[in-house]
Structure 1
């Protein structure tokens, strides 16, 4: 055992002041290789979901049931060194089952002195995963980390089980918040999908609206935007099919416009663009209205248009996010609207698409409710990112 006054984390709970201990792993843990329980459920080890029952996984893994007698028994509180632990750390089991003999299983020599969840977080910390590099010689050849490899690593940990528990309970609360926030994001995404389907196939209508939607060619409602008055001090944007308008620095970590900026299109708020050479147009409905900025510069590879006074730009954007225009886009694709393997839907062909439109008032009601969902999703994603950063900071400051 070794105690060092320097072994104190930067962030400490009140009531704890002792230096943390430093020991080699083999002084704390011992391997487990119990076998001969073929009737127990088979578990698999994943970096994303930890230890999961194999029959609950989405993928079908074939295995010889006659070999189950050689599988290792896993119990709650056991740690598992999986085949790719050098990338993501060790996993803590919360299940009883058996797993492939290719996995290394270990547990505390004195489990009554430790709180397992604390070690779950310690074994997932970036610095611990980095420390595994010192024992991963040969990993590229397919060799996994053995208990012998792990046993000589030095580990620094609290001198009391109570501090281990206090730290892990805080991190557990953060994990619960992260999971609940992700559930909210998933629920909002489901709500958005339902609204996009039901509002645009007209199976859901707002009270007071019952008239038939009218068919219009997009070109009847749109005016092409191509101008540029020479200003260079505007945001430079690019389309991301999954995230809409982003600055070039957000998308590419730098501005890629260079000397081509003078050839960019000046786009005003609520005007729309699509990338005619983007193979994701049909899949994601990548038609986006400018919302965040009053004006911006966008590449000429995007065809831009304005529907002011004739349609609601947000409605147009959500219309193309729904499945409604699919058949029209497929017609263009099947008619040969391709170039070098990408879609090449020119402006004239795109404007020839015929779609059903309600009154502008109903368009605005539809887009307004979808904008509320979008805003809630954006805000919740921000909360999720902040929680992830808080957890990252705590994993750094609460440990050594």
Structure 2
């Protein structure tokens, strides 16, 4: 049976089998046109597709609301608003419910409404999906766009058709399920943010030596990088043993399939790249400000010859070096050696790079520091993977729980 063959979604909660009703949005919600005549609220609102209805003064560097807000719509907690502005990922605007504040004011350019014969949380979930885009898109086209707004009238908006379960309990179940998932996603993102903040603090404290591992008190030594690194300048063609990969500061050495693959543009199969092996240190002179520097944590590969590649010597621990080079203080040292070349690009010569002086502890302490960050990075990666899984699950549910 197809998803909507009998007006039922692909996925149902146990105990529900009856067909969903098709109704106009205006039949189940009530338009809100109350004005802020008595200046009940002075909080100007705006709609963020990602963050919902938020205080305009916090969202922008300065408020863009009119000085006279007495004629603005007055929103109360639980009211919905439709932002007709379109953006990447939200081609037909965004609908959000006021949850963060008890009240606020909104420009009359927005369409405001509240639930009448439909569960509020179900409605939140409905507008998080893309089903409603189909209906709105019938009355809004490329030709109906004006200065970033979709010229959709309030009557056209409320005339859009939607399917919804007739039983309030099914509406509640759908809304509650997605709400629980949203809470899990938010908590997981919070965990990632907290872990990254912890890593930032550890990078600061461990490398300025204000925090030390027990049993280590010797002062760190000043060493030139040429004592800790050796340039790996080994031209090679792509092969099964050394596949062609990309390098970025965020993802490190990654297969070309995860990014834009330009290999089809290469005419010669004998084109030479640079070899890199696991635990090599790699940097790109042009993108240092955005963090294009790091360790090869993947393994054997060939990468573009524009990158500089170094092997870590026995005097250093790769995981320690990999975190030391990420510090802002180290990047600033590198930038002092940057020289301009053709086409506005920059270059830090490998010989200059190897002259940089750094403070390093004995290898035993380096190992402990490196191990700590390796464990922390693994935890961050696992938490990010969990976040991706939750977001994928939500996307699937939003697709299958609705018609």
Q: TM-score, normalised by structure 1?
A: 0.90
Q: Distance in 2 between matches of 1:253 and 1:157?
A: 44
**Secondary structure at 2:13 match in 1:** coil
**Secondary structure at 1:205 match in 2:** coil
Match of 1:222 in 2: 229
Tell me the CA shift for residue 254 of structure 1. 6.0
Match of 1:157 in 2: 164
Contact persistence 2:238–2:244 (CA under 8 A): no
- CA spacing shift, 1:256–1:300, aligned 2, 3 Å: farther
- Of 185-194 and 337-346, the range deviating more from structure 2: 337-346
**Unaligned ranges ≥5, structure 1:** none
| Aligned 1:226-265 pairs, distance under 5 A | 226-228=233-235, 232-233=239-240, 234-253=242-261, 255=263, 258=266, 259=268, 262-265=271-274
- CA spacing shift, 1:64–1:153, aligned 2, 3 Å: closer
Q: Distance in 2 between matches of 1:284 and 1:205?
A: 29
Q: Distance in 1 between matches of 2:236 and 2:66?
A: 70
Q: TM-score, normalised by structure 2?
A: 0.89
- Of 166-175 and 265-274, the range deviating more from structure 2: 265-274
Residues 1:383 and 2:389 aligned together = no
**Unaligned ranges ≥5, structure 2:** none
Higher helix share goes to which structure? Answer: 1
- Of 78-87 and 252-261, the range deviating more from structure 2: 252-261
- CA spacing shift, 1:212–1:256, aligned 2, 3 Å: farther
Residues 1:330 and 2:366 aligned together = no
Q: Distance in 2 between matches of 1:256 and 1:200?
A: 44
- CA spacing shift, 1:261–1:6, aligned 2, 3 Å: farther
Match of 2:308 in 1: 303
Number of residues paired by the alignment? 387
Which of 357, 365, 370 is equivalent to 2:368? 365
| Aligned 1:343-354 pairs, distance under 5 A | 343-354=346-357
Match of 1:195 in 2: 202
**Secondary structure at 2:171 match in 1:** helix
Tell me the CA shift for residue 47 of structure 1. 1.0
Contact persistence 1:315–1:366 (CA under 8 A): yes
Contact persistence 1:229–1:266 (CA under 8 A): yes
Residues 1:75 and 2:76 aligned together = yes
Residues 1:342 and 2:351 aligned together = no
- Of 224-233 and 167-176, the range deviating more from structure 2: 224-233
| Aligned 1:8-47 pairs, distance under 5 A | 8-35=8-35, 36-40=37-41, 41-47=43-49
Which of 271, 279, 282 is equivalent to 1:273? 282
Contact persistence 1:89–1:125 (CA under 8 A): no
**Secondary structure at 2:231 match in 1:** strand
Tell me the CA shift for residue 88 of structure 1. 4.1
Tell me the CA shift for residue 174 of structure 1. 0.5
**Secondary structure at 2:70 match in 1:** helix
Contact persistence 2:284–2:306 (CA under 8 A): yes
- CA spacing shift, 1:371–1:58, aligned 2, 3 Å: farther
Match of 1:290 in 2: 296
Cα deviation code 1:56-107 (max 9, x no counterpart): 4352114343x21101111223221113265343112224222111111122
Cα deviation code 1:143-187 (max 9, x no counterpart): 443311212221111111111000110111110100000000000
What root-mean-square deviation, in Å, do the aligned CA atoms of Structure 1 and Structure 2 show? 2.2
Q: Distance in 2 between matches of 1:287 and 1:155?
A: 50
Tell me the CA shift for residue 385 of structure 1. 0.5
Tell me the CA shift for residue 228 of structure 1. 4.8
Match of 2:59 in 1: 57
